[in-house]
């Protein structure tokens, strides 16, 4: 059984605050859990950091123009 996803809503924040909030939340992500991050922009600068730290991410644009990024251990 996997852990409940952690939700981070970083919409409305100016860079680099969304990335900082997401990285802070990842520090406490339980094994097997997924982090669901909502942002106003596609978090392009976040992807190399996630890869470097052993995470996989998938981003989807939402109907309201925001982005939902699912992050889990690779």
For residue range 34-65, list pLDDT tens digits in order. 999 999 999 999 999 999 999 999 999 999 99
pLDDT computed for residue 2 by the predictor = 65
With cut-offs at 50, 70 and 90, classify the pLDDT of residue 1: low
> Which residue segments constitute the domains of the chain, with CATH numbers given?
6-73 (3.30.110.40)
Q: Omega into 40 within 30° of 0, i.e. cis? A: no
Mean pLDDT value across residues 22-36: 94
With cut-offs at 50, 70 and 90, classify the pLDDT of residue 74: confident
């Amino acid at each position: 059984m996997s852990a409940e996803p952690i939700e981070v809503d970083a919409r409305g924040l100016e860079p680099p605050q969304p990335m900082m909030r997401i990285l802070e939340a990842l520090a406490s992500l339980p094994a097997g859990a997924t982090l669901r991050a909502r942002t106003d922009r596609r978090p392009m600068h976040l992807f190399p950091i996630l890869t470097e730290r052993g995470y996989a991410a998938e981003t989807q644009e939402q109907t309201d123009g925001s982005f939902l990024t699912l992050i889990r251990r690779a």
